[in-house]
Structure 1
Amino acid sequence: MASASPPAPQTPPPRLGERLARAWGRWWVKALAVLALLAAIGWALLWLLVIRQLPSVDQLRAYEPPLPTNVRGIDGAPIQSYARERRVQLSYAEYPPLLVKAFLAAEDRTFFEHHGVDYPGLAGAVVDYAAKFGTGRRAKGGSTITQQVAKNLLIGNEYSPTRKLREAILAYKIEDTLSKQQILELYLNQIPLGRNAFGVEAAAHAYFDKELNALDLPQLAYLAILPKGPSNYDPIRHPDRALARRNYVLREMVRNGFITQAQFAQANAAPLGTVRRRTPKFEAVGGYFVEAVRRELIDRFGETAKASPNSVYEGGLWVRTSLDTRLQDLAAQALRDGLIRYESGRGWSGPLRHVDLDGDNWQQPLLNTNIALDYQDWRAGIVIGREGDAWRLGFANGATGLLPRWAAQSPKRGTATPAFGTLKPGDIIAVAPSGSGFALRSVPRVSGGFVVEEPATGRVLAMQGGFDARLQAFNRAVQAMRQPGSTIKPLVYSAALENGMTPASIIVDGPFCVDQGARLGQKCFRNFANMRSAGPKTMRWGIEQSRNLMTVRMAATTGMPKLVDTLKRMGVGDYPPYLSIALGAGETTVLRMVNAYATLVNQGRGHEPTLIDFVQDRHGKVVLPENWRPCDGCNAPDWTGGPMPRPALRQKQVIDAMTAYQMVHITEGVVQRGTATVLRDLDRPMMGKTGTTTGPTDVWFIGGTPQFIGGLYIGYDHPRNLGGVEGGTFAAPVFKEFAVKAYDGLDKLPFRAPPGIRMVRIDRMSGRPVFGTWPDPDDPRAAVIWEAFKPESEPRRARRRGDAATPAAAPAPTAAPTPRDSDFLQREGGIY
C-alpha cells in the first residue's frame, strides 16, 4: 500500500496593504479617488464660501416686516401714517383663496409639491444664464416662491450664480423650518408691488382703493402679475401690456384647475379697473400737528430699525395723540380766514413756486413739488401755456383748465393788478373754480400760529403753524420765536401778586423813566399809542386797559429778578432782568404762552405740553410714556360700580394756586371791560389777554375757558409793520371765529377758586371796599365788582377822620346778599 503524499502548503492571504496596493494599480480606483478628493475640496469650498456665510433660517420664525407707524387722534380715528413702505400685515387665513391661486399660477404652480427648489425650472434658468452670459441681458429667474422669500428677506438681490446657489440652499432649509402656509404669508406680506406698496393688502389700496377681500377675480389676477416688475405693467403707462399679462395669469389658472372656463371668460373680458395713484385720504389732517408728532417720535425712537426696533418708519407703532380733529379744523379755518382778511386789498402775492417744464411733460414736475392746498375749494395748478386771452393750467390729477384774463386780476387799493401778464409757463399758482374755468387766488404772505391746549392735562388739542403745511413747512406755533407784547402782562403781574401786591393795589399810571448811565442817559417808557396817563389806578384796571406805564412801575417795585424767575418757572423763557421784558420784549412761542395761561387756569399746577397720549409697539405693549402702568379695574367688564381708579396727579405747583386764580379773575375783566370785549357776547366765563408789539409787527390773543385755552399770533415771518391793526381788533376776532363753534354745546363752566380765596366787593377803579347797595351782577361795566383776595390781604372799610388808630373790623353789610350772590360766594369758596 502506497503511503499518502503530504498536503501542499497553502498560500497565505495577501495583507491589507498588499490588497490596497494592487487596487491602487487599477485605473478606475485612481479615478474614483481623484473624484472623491475633488468632491471634498468642492464641499470645503462650498462650505467656506457659501454655506458658512448663509444667514440663519431661524430669523424667519421671528421675522417682523417693516410696518408703518399709525397715528390716531383723540377719538381713536386714523389721522396719519409714517412710512417709507406702505404695508399692511395679514395672516394666511386672511388671504382670499383666489388670490393665493392667482399667485401660484403666475409664480410657482408646483409650490405645494416641491421642497423649495423647482429643479427643471432651475436647470432652465442655468441654461438661459449661460446663453446670455456676456450679452448684458438678464436671464430668467426660475425661482420658486420659497427662493424669492430667501432672496428678499435673507440674502438680497445680487445678480450672480453664487446668489442663486445660496438661494437654493436656503430655500431647502426654509422648507424644513416653516410650513407652506407660513412661507406664503411671508411672501404675500413683503413682496414689492409698485406704487410704494409692499404686500398685497397695501397694493389693493394703491391700485384699486379697496380692501383686499373686496377685490374680484380679475383684480386679484392683476396683483399677481406685479412681482415680475410693477413698472412693466403700470396700468397708466402700459395698459395693454398689463391687460395681456393679467389674461395670461387667468389662462394659467384655468390650466391648473383653479377656476372654471366660465369664470375665465367673465374675468378675461373685464377692464383693468385700476385707479390713479392716490395719497392717503388723511394726509391733509392736522399737517403741522402730525409733523410735530413725527419729529418727537424720531427723537425718541429713531427712523429705522438700525436705530431701534420701535423705529418710526419700520417699527409698526400705534400712536394715540391728543389731536381733536374738530378743534383742529376750526383753528385752521379761523387762522386762515384771518390771514386772508388781512391780505385782502393788498394785491396778488405771486406764484407759489416756479419749475422748468420739459416739453409737454408738466404733470411730473408739478407732482415733484408736493404742493397742494386744502383751503375751501382752492387748488394748486401749473401754468402750461397761453391760449388766446387765457392761460392753460394743469393739475396734479392730470386734468387741465383755463384761467381767463378777467379772472386773474388782483385788487389793490381800488385798482387792478395785472397779475395775468406776469404769469409764465412753469409758475405754480393757487386758483379756485369760477364759472367754466378758474380764478386766481392769493396765498397770504403774512402768517401766524394757533395752539389749543387742555389746562387740566397739558394735552395739545389743535395746532396750526401757518396757512398750509404743504406750502410752508415752518411750524410757527412751536418754532417761531416772537415777542408776545402785552400777553406777557398777566404773568408779570402774577409775580407781583406773589410778592405782596393785591388786585386792588394802587399803581400810578404816569411817566416812568430809568437812568441807564452816563453814556445811555434816561430811558422813558410810554403807554401804547401814546395814551395819556390816568393817574393812580388799581392793578386790575391796569391789566384790563393794558397800561404799559403801570406795568413797568410795578415790575420795578417787585424787582426784575423775581419777575424773570416767575417767567422761567412758567416755561415762557429765560430772560435777563431788563424792564423791557415786562412789556413783552423777550421772545417766546405761541405754545409756551398758551401753556403758561393754562397753568393759571389749572390753579398754578403746571404741565409740559404734550402731543402724544401713549405709544404701543406692534405687539400692543405701551412703550411711551416710559412709566406707564396698567390700570386694574379700568375696563368696563371689570367695573364693580364703584369709582373708577384714577392715577395720582404728578403736577408741579409752578405758582401759588390763589395767585393763579386772582390773575384768572382779573383777566376775565379783560374780556368784560378791557381790550378783548369783542368776546363778551360769547356769554360764558372766559379769561384772556390781547397783545400788540411795537410797530405793530405782531398781534396776539391768548385766553379761553376751563375746558381749553387757545392762543394765536399773526405777523410776517420777517417782522415788519402790520399797519393799523391791534390784538383786540384783529387777533381777538380770529379767536372769536374759532370760539363761536368750538364752545358750541359745551357747558358754561366757571373758573373754580382754590380754598381760602376771599371774595370782596370793591370799587375797581379805587380798590376801596364797597358796602351797601348791590350792583347789577349782569352789568360788566359796573364800577363795583367782586374781587379775589388772599387771606388777610383784603381791604378794610376806610376809617373816618378822628377814629381810633386801631384797625376797624369789617361791619356787617347794610344789605343782605341776593340768592344769586350767595350762590356765587358758595361756589367760589369765598366770604362776604
Structure 2
Amino acid sequence: MNLMLNLLKKFLILGAFLIFICFSMLIYFLWKVSPELPSYNELKSYNPSLTSRVFTSDGLLLDKYFIQERIFVPINRIPKNLIYAFISAEDKKFFEHIGIDPLAIIRAVFTNIVNNFSNKKMIGASTITQQVVKNLLLTNEVSLERKFKEMILAVRIENILNKEQILELYLNDIYLGYGSYGIAAASLNYFNKSINELTLEEVAFLAALPKAPNNYNPITKYSNAIERRNWVLQKMYENGYISAAYLQYKNKPLIVQDRYEEQFKEANYFKEEVRKELYDLFGKQALYEQGLIVKTSINTKLQKIADHVLISGLINQDKKNGWKGVLANIQKLIIEDDLLKNIKNPFPDKWAVYQINKISELILEVINSKGEHNTIDLSSDDNKWLIKEKFNIGDVFFAELIADQLTIRQIPKINGAIVVIDPHTGKVLALSGGFSFELSEFNRATQAKRQPGSAFKPFVYIAAMKEGYTPATLILDAPYVVDQGPGLPKWKPSNYTDKFYGLSPMRTGVEKSRNLMTIRLSDKIGMEKILDTARDFKIGKYMNNNLSMSLGSGLVTLLDLTNAYAMIVNGGKEINPSLITSVYDKTGKQILINEIKKCN
C-alpha cells in the first residue's frame, strides 16, 4: 500500500513538474514570438485582390484585369448549403471553438505519431480561422514555430472578428484550383454558374477542394474528385446539415462546364487605350486588385465595321503594289518544321500558314500546320491578282478561309487607323489603331503624329470667318512665290491640278481644296490667328507659324483631328474624346463620370 502511495506521489510530482516545464516553455515562446507576430488589425479592413472588369456600351465584357481572379461575395449573399459544406469538410466545430480546436490538436498529435511509424499519411488539425491566418498573415513554411504563431493569431483574431466575418474572409480568399481564388470564381470556372445556381453535389465538390485542388481535378483525377465529393456529402449528413434523402446525390456525375462569358474579343487597340487611361487615373494597385467596374463608350457594331473596313482597305491597297513573295520555301512538311515558331501571324483566329504540296495549272494543293489538306483556286475573284505569279512546291504563305474558299494573304507594308466619335458627346464609338495588334501594339490613332494635309484647311477658313470673311469673299487663285532666304530655292506651292483659277469665292477654296487660295488667305489674315483657331480645336500643339502649316504640314494625331471635326459638327461647342464613360468601385459607388447628356 505504501509502495503504491509513493509511486502515486512521485507520479504526481513528475506530472506537476512536466506541466510546469511545458507552461514555462509556453510563456517563453509567447514572450519570444509575440513581437515577431504580424499585425492582425489589418484583417478588420481586409481588401482581397479582386478582378476589375471592363464592359462595352451594350453590356458585353470587353476586358478584365487581375493578379488573382477573384469575385468578392459578402457573407450574407453566400448560400447556406455552401457554408455548411465547407464547415463539414474543413472545421465542423467552427461555430464552437475559440480559433483552435484543442481536442483536434491532441488527436492529430497522437495519430501522427502512430502514422509516422506505420508510414501512413499525416493528418492536420487546422481550423478555418487558422487557415485564414496562414493565407493572409503568414507563409506556407512548414515548422513548429510557424504553427504556434498561427494558433496564437487564430485565438486573437476570434476576439476582434465574429464568425461570419472570418467565414467571409475564408470563402473569398481560398484557392480552389483552375486559377480560382474564392468560391465565386471557382463556381464560374468549374461549372459556369453563379454560386446561387449551384446544385448540392456541385457545392460539395467545391468544399472538397481546399486541402489539395490538384489531387481532385475533375478532368484528370475524376474518381478522386467523386470520392472526395461524396465524403463531403456524408459529412454534411453526419453533421445534420442535410437529410438522408440527399445522400442520393452521391450517385450524380460530376459535370464540368467550360466558363463562358459573352465577351467582345475584338478591339485590342481600344482595350489597351482604356487600360492605359485607367492605369494613369487610378494606378496599378487599384486597377488590378480593387475590383473596378468600368463602362466604356465602344459600340460593338461600329467597331466590327471599322476593323473590317481598315483591314480590307489596307489589304486591297497593298494588292495594287503586287505580290511580295512567299514566307519561305521548305522541302519538309510544314508540320515537321520549326519554321512556324519564327512566323508571326497577324490574325491567329482567321489566317493560317499553308504549304504547297502539288500544283495543277491554276489549282494549288496545300496543307496547313495542323495537317489539314485543301486547295486554292488562283482563278477565283479573291486570288486572280496572283494568276501570273509563279509558285513552287514547298512555298509557304498565309491564307484565309472565306466561305469555304482559301484566299492567299500577305501582310501589307502600309498601315492606318480609324476613329469614330459621337460629335455631340465626344464618346469614342470605335477605334482601330492599326492593321494587327499582334504585329504591332503601336496605336496609330492615338500615338502616331502625322501631317493632316488638306484636312487642316477648314480651320484656316474658320479663322478667316472669325475675322469677318464670308463664303462669298473673293480670293485670288494665282501663282504664289515665297523667298526662303539666301541659298535656298523659292517656295512655289501649286494646286493639285497645276492650274490657276483667278478670283474665286472663298467657299470654292474649301470645296475644291485649292492650295493657292488657302496660302494667300493665310498670309492675309496671319498665321497666328490660324494657330489660335487650331489651338481652340485642340490640334495646334505641334504646329508653328510657318506659312506651310496652313496646307497641313504640322503634326496631329488622328484622334485629335477627328475630335476637331466633331466640334465643327457640334456647332463649335467644345467636346473631349472619351473612351471611358463611368467607373464604379467594388461597392457600386461611382468614382468617375464622363457622360455628357445630349439636349433635344
Q: TM-score, normalised by structure 1?
A: 0.60
Please say if 1:301 is aligned against 2:282. yes
Which residue is equivalent to 1:47? 31
Q: Which residue of 2 aligns with 1:316?
A: 291
- 2:358 and 2:393 in contact (8 A); partners too: no
Amino acid at match of 2:256: T
Q: C-alpha distance in 2, partners of 1:592/1:160? A: 61
Paired residues of 1:322 and 1:613 also in contact (CA < 8 A): yes
Judge conservation of contact 2:346–2:436 (CA < 8 Å) in 1: no
- CA offset digits 1:229-268 (Å, max 9, x no partner): 3334334444444344334434444554544555444443
In the other structure, the counterpart of 2:168 is 185
CA distance in 2, matches of 1:185, 1:303: 25
**Could you tell me which of 282, 295, 315 is aligned with 2:263?**
282
Q: Which one-letter code corresponds to 1:509 in the other structure? A: D
Q: What amino acid is aligned across from residue 336 of structure 1 in structure 2?
A: I
Contact 2:451 2:555 in 1 (8 A): yes
Whole-angstrom CA distance in 2 between matches of 1:351 and 1:224: 53
Mapping of residues 581-596 of structure 1, within 5 Å: 581-596=549-564
| 1:330 aligned residue (292, 295, 305) | 305
Query: Which among 598, 604, 622 is matched to residue 566 of structure 2?
Result: 598
Among 97, 102, 114, the residue aligned to 2:85: 102
TM-superposed deviation, 1:450: 1.7
**Partner Cα distance (1:273, 1:385) in 2:** 43
| The one of 423, 434, 452 aligned to 2:396 | 423
1:57–1:177 CA contact under 8 A, matched in 2? no
Over residues 699-730 of structure 1, what are the superposed CA-to-partner deviations in whole Å (9 max), with x where a residue is unaligned?
xxxxxxx99xxxxxxxxxxxxxxxxxxxxxxx
The structural deviation recorded for 1:381 is 5.4
Corresponding residue for residue 558 of structure 1: 525
1:292 maps to 2:268: no
**1:547 equivalenced with 2:522 (yes/no):** no
Q: Residues 408-419 of structure 1 correspond to what in structure 2 (within 5 A)? A: 412-415=385-388, 418=391
Bigger Rg, structure 1 or 2 = 1
* Separation of aligned partners in 2, 1:138 and 1:540: 90
Whether the aligned pair in 1 keeps the contact of 2:432 and 2:445 (CA below 8 Å) is yes
Structure 1 equivalent of residue 350 of structure 2: 379
Shift of 1:274: 1.3
Tell me how far apart the structure 2 counterparts of residues 387 and 99 of structure 1 sit (CA, whole Å): 61
How far, CA to CA, are the matches of 1:603 and 1:554 in structure 2?
23
Mapping of residues 736-755 of structure 1, within 5 Å: none
**In the aligned structure 2, how far is the partner of 1:52 from the partner of 1:221?**
40
The one-character-per-residue Cα deviations of 1:38-70 (angstroms, maximum 9, x if unpaired) are 855752442342x23334444333322222223
Structure 2 vs 1, CA of residues 234 and 276 (structure 1 numbering), >3 Å: closer, same or farther?
A: farther
Deviation at 1:214, TM superposition (A): 1.9
CA-to-partner distance for each residue in 1:119-153, whole Å, 9 max, x for gaps? 354356667888999xxx99655322111111122
Separation in 2 of the partners of 1:467 and 1:610? 22
Deviation at 1:556, TM superposition (A): 2.2
Q: Which residue of 1 aligns with 2:421?
A: 453
Identity %: 38
Instruction: Indicate if the aligned counterparts of 2:449 and 2:557 stay in contact, CA closer than 8 A.
Output: yes
What's 1:580 paired with? 548
The structure-2 alpha-carbon separation of the partners of 1:155 and 1:567, relative to structure 1 and needing over 3 Å to count, comes to same
Counterpart for residue 182 of structure 2: 199
Does 1:342 find its partner at 2:325?
A: no
Matching residue of 1:619 = 587
- Alpha carbons of 1:550 and 1:439: their partners in 2 closer, same or farther (altered >3 Å)? closer
Q: Name structure 1 gaps, 5 residues minimum.
A: 1-27, 305-310, 353-358, 395-400, 629-645, 648-705, 708-748, 750-832
More contact order relative to length (CA 8 Å, sep ≥ 6): 2
Decide which of 148, 151, 154 is 2:137's aligned counterpart.
Answer: 154
Distance 1:606 1:344 in 2: 41
Relative to structure 1, is the Cα distance of residues 96 and 456 closer, same or farther in structure 2, using a 3 angstrom cutoff?
Answer: same
- Are the equivalent residues in 2 in contact too, given 1:204–1:210 (CA < 8 A)? yes
Q: Which residue of 2 aligns with 1:228?
A: 211
What letter is aligned with 1:553? R
- Name 1:772's counterpart in structure 2: none
Match of 2:295, SS state, is: strand
Name the residue aligned to 2:503: 536
The verdict on how the C-alpha distance between 1:457 and 1:406 changes in structure 2, with shifts beyond 3 A counting, is: closer
Deviates further, 148-157 or 92-101: 92-101
- Please report how far the alpha carbon of residue 335 of structure 1 lies from its aligned counterpart in structure 2 after TM superposition: 2.8
Distance change >3 Å, CA 338–CA 383, structure 1 → 2:
closer
Counterpart residue number, 1:483: 451
Q: Which of 91, 100, 104 is the matching residue for 1:117?
A: 100
One-letter code aligned to 1:46 = L
Residues 202 and 407 (structure 1), Cα distance of their counterparts in 2 relative to 1, 3 Å cut: farther
Distance change in 2, residues 1:104/1:176 (3 Å): same
Query: How far 1:576 moved relative to its partner?
Result: 2.2
* Rounded Cα–Cα distance in structure 1 between residues aligned with 2:454 and 2:75: 63
Q: How many angstroms does 1:89 deviate by?
A: 1.7
Cα 1:616/1:410, change in 2 over 3 Å: same
**Number of the residue aligned with 1:210:** 193
Aligned-partner residue type, residue 293 of structure 1: V
Spell out the pairing of 1:684-723 with structure 2 (5 A cutoff).
Answer: none
**What secondary structure, in the 3-state scheme, does the structure 1 residue paired with 2:417 have?**
strand
Q: Distance in 1 between matches of 2:257 and 2:351?
A: 21
- Name the Cα RMSD after superposition: 4.3
Aligned-residue offset at 1:610: 2.1
Q: What is the deviation of 1:592? A: 0.5
| Matching residue's letter, 2:265 | A
| Structure 1 residues 606 and 178: alpha-carbon distance in aligned structure 2, compared to 1, 3 A threshold | same
Secondary structure of 2:158's counterpart equals helix
Q: Are 1:82 and 1:313, in contact at CA under 8 Å, matched by a contact in 2?
A: yes
In 2, Cα distance between the equivalents of 1:522 and 1:236? 78
* Residue identity opposite 1:532 in structure 2: K
Query: Structure 1 residue 612: deviation in Å?
Result: 2.4
Within 2, Cα distance between the matches of 1:554 and 1:129?
Answer: 95
Q: Which amino acid aligns with 1:609?
A: P
What letter matches 1:391 in structure 2? I
2:72 is aligned with 1:89:
yes
Q: Indicate how the Cα distance of structure 1 residues 387 and 421 shifts in structure 2: closer, same or farther if over 3 A, else same.
A: closer
Q: Classify 1:442/1:93 alpha carbon distance in 2 versus 1 (closer, same or farther; 3 Å).
A: farther
Instruction: Say if 1:93 and 1:29 are closer, same or farther in 2 by CA, change over 3 A.
Output: closer
211 and 277 in structure 1: CA distance in 2 versus 1, 3 angstrom threshold: closer
1:515/1:521 contact within 8 Å kept: yes
- Paired with 2:39 and 2:125, the residues of 1 have a C-alpha distance of 23
Residues in 2 aligned to 1:194 and 1:382: alpha-carbon distance in whole angstroms: 35
**1:447–1:166 Cα change, 3 Å:** same
Unmatched 5+ stretches in structure 2: 1-11, 329-334, 360-364
Q: Distance in 2 between matches of 1:162 and 1:262?
A: 45
1:140/1:175 CA distance change after superposition, 3 Å = same
- Give the structure 1 partner of residue 332 of structure 2: none
Contact 1:204–1:211, Cα closer than 8 Å, also in 2 = yes
Give 3-state SS (helix, strand or coil) of 1:447's partner: coil
Secondary structure in 2 aligned to 1:415? coil
**2:288 match: secondary structure:** coil
Q: Give the Cα separation in 2 of the matches to 1:523 and 1:227.
A: 78
Greater share of helix: 2
CA distance in 2 between counterparts of 1:165 and 1:594 reads 65
Residue equivalent to 1:498: 466
Shift of 1:522: 0.8
Shift of 1:579: 2.3
Partner of 2:255: 273
